[in-house]
Amino acid sequence: CQKTFTLNNGNVIPAVALGTWQSGEDQDVVYKAVKAALAVGYRHIDTAMMYGNEAEVGRGIRDGLKEAGLKREDIFVTTKLATIHGRPSMVPKAFEDSLARLDIGYIDLYMMHWPIALNPASGKLIPLKPDGSRDIDEELDGKFELTWGAMEKLLDTGKVKNIGVANFSIPNLERLLKTAKVVPAVNQVELHPYLPQNKLLEYCKSKGIHCSAYSPLGSSNSTLLQNETLAKIAKAHDTSIAQTLVSWGITRGSVLPKSVNPERIKSNIETVELTEQEIQEINDISKTNTKRFVRPNWGIPVFDEDFE
Ligand code: A2P
C-alpha cells in the first residue's frame, strides 16, 4: 500500500508503517524485521526511545535502504521522546541521542510519547512508585506545554521535519493548543475497531491533526483477530483479518501494524478496497465490543474516558 496522507504543514506521511514496539529482547529480530519491511515496500518505520531498539532499527534502516536501492528521503521515520525526558532542558539532548542511536541523518517525525513526564532522577526508563503507579516528575508538574515548547524549537535545527504527540486525549489537546505555536502534525493513539475513538478523530480533523493508529491489530494477545465480522469480511476479499484491519485503518489515517515475521510483514501491507457497507459493519463492531489494550497505570487521567 503506497497511499500517503498530507500533514498540516504540507509534508507527506506514508499510510502504513512497520510498528516496532514489543519486537522482543533479541535485537537482531527487529533489525531483520525493518530490513524485510523496506524490501517489501514499507516506506514508514515507527520506533521510540522507550522501545529500547532505536540502534537496531537504525541499523536495519541503513542496511535495508542499501539493499533495496533506496535513498534516505524515500522513507519516513518516526521516533519519540521518552517520558523521563519531559523537562524542556532535557529535550534537545534526548532528541540528539535518539538521532545518534538511529544514525540516519534526520528524523521525519518526533513525538512526545505521552502527555506525562516521569521522574528522571530514578535512573529507570519507567520509574514506578511502590503502589505500581508511575513516578511522576514533580518538577515539571504535569506541564506538558513546556515540553512541547522545547520540541517546537527542535524544528529550527532542521534535523526533524515534523513534530507530533502520542496518546493525547481531547482535553489534553485542547490544553496544548492554547499555548502551542506549532499545531502537532500527528497524534498517535491506539485505534482499531474495538477502540475507534470517533470523537477524538473528529476533533483532530477539525484542528488539522493527522491520527496514526498504534496496536491496529489489537496488540499482543489480540481478540480482534478472532472477530467474526472481520473474519467474514476478510473471507469475502480472500484476505486475512489483519489485512482487513489495516485496510479499514487507512480509510481513517495512517496505521502501524507491528510484526517481526517476514511473511506477516509482507502481507500486512497488502491492503484491499473495502465497500462502504463493509466499512460501516466494521465501524459498528464497537457497539458490542470495546477494549483498550494499552493502559499503563499512570495514576492520573490520560485517556478521553478518564476525563468523563
Ligand atoms: P508477530 O510480530 O509475531 O507477527 P499490533 O500491530 O496491534 O500491535 O499487533 C501486533 C501483534 O499481532 C503481534 O503479536 C504480531 O505478532 C501479531 N501480528 C502481526 N501481523 C499479523 C498477522 N498478519 N496475522 C496475525 N498476527 C499478526
Predicted local confidence at residue 90, as pLDDT:
98
Which pLDDT does position 145 carry in this prediction? Answer: 98
The atom of ligand 1 lying closest to the CA of 33 is 2
| Closest C-alpha to ligand 1, atom 21 | 264
Q: Which of 45, 53, 217, 247 to mutate to test the pocket of ligand 1 (most atoms within 8 A of CB)?
A: 217
Alpha helices in the chain (DSSP H): 27-39, 54-68, 91-102, 144-154, 170-179, 198-207, 228-236, 241-249, 262-268, 276-284
Render pLDDT for 70-83 as a digit per residue (tens, 0 to 9). 999 999 999 999 99
Tell me phi and psi for residue 262, to 5 degrees.
-55, -40
Structure confidence by residue, pLDDT tens digits, 34-60: 999 999 999 999 999 999 999 999 999
Work out the average pLDDT over 18-30: 93
Short-list 190, 235, 228, 243, CA closest to 212: 190
The answer on pLDDT for 189 being more than 80 is yes
pLDDT of residue 176: 98
Instruction: Round to whole Å and give the CA distance between 15 and 10.
Output: 15
Average predicted confidence (pLDDT) for the chain = 96
Q: Is 2 in the pocket of ligand 1 (CB under 6 A)?
A: no
CA distances from 174 to 33, 104, 180, 204 (A): 37, 33, 10, 10
* Exposure letters 264-276 (e unless 16+ CB within 10 A, then b): bbbbbbbbbebee
What's the gap in Å between 217 CA and the centre of ligand 1?
Answer: 6
- What mean pLDDT do residues 62-73 have? 98
Q: How many CB atoms lie within 10 A of CB 12?
A: 13
pLDDT at 1 exceeding the cut of 80? no
Phi first, then psi: give them for residue 239, nearest 5 degrees. -135, -175
Query: Would residue 214 show up in a list of annotated catalytic residues for this protein?
Result: no
| Residue of 300, 217, 307 lying closest to 256 (CA atoms) | 217
Cβ of 37 below 6 Å from ligand 1? no
- Residue 299 is predicted with a pLDDT of 86
Q: Which residue ranges form the domains of the chain, and what is each CATH number?
A: 4-221+248-267+291-307 (3.20.20.100)
Residues 142-159, mean pLDDT to the nearest whole number:
98
- Grid cell, residue 235, equals 473471507
Higher pLDDT, 24 or 3: 3
Q: How far is the CA of 259 from the centre of ligand 1 (A)?
A: 5
Q: Answer whether 218 contacts ligand 1 (Cβ < 6 A).
A: yes
Would the CB of 220 count as within 6 Å of ligand 1? yes
**Strand 254-255 to 210-214 pairing:** parallel
Q: How far apart are CA 64 and CA 174, in angstroms?
A: 39
Tell me, what's the pLDDT at 207?
98
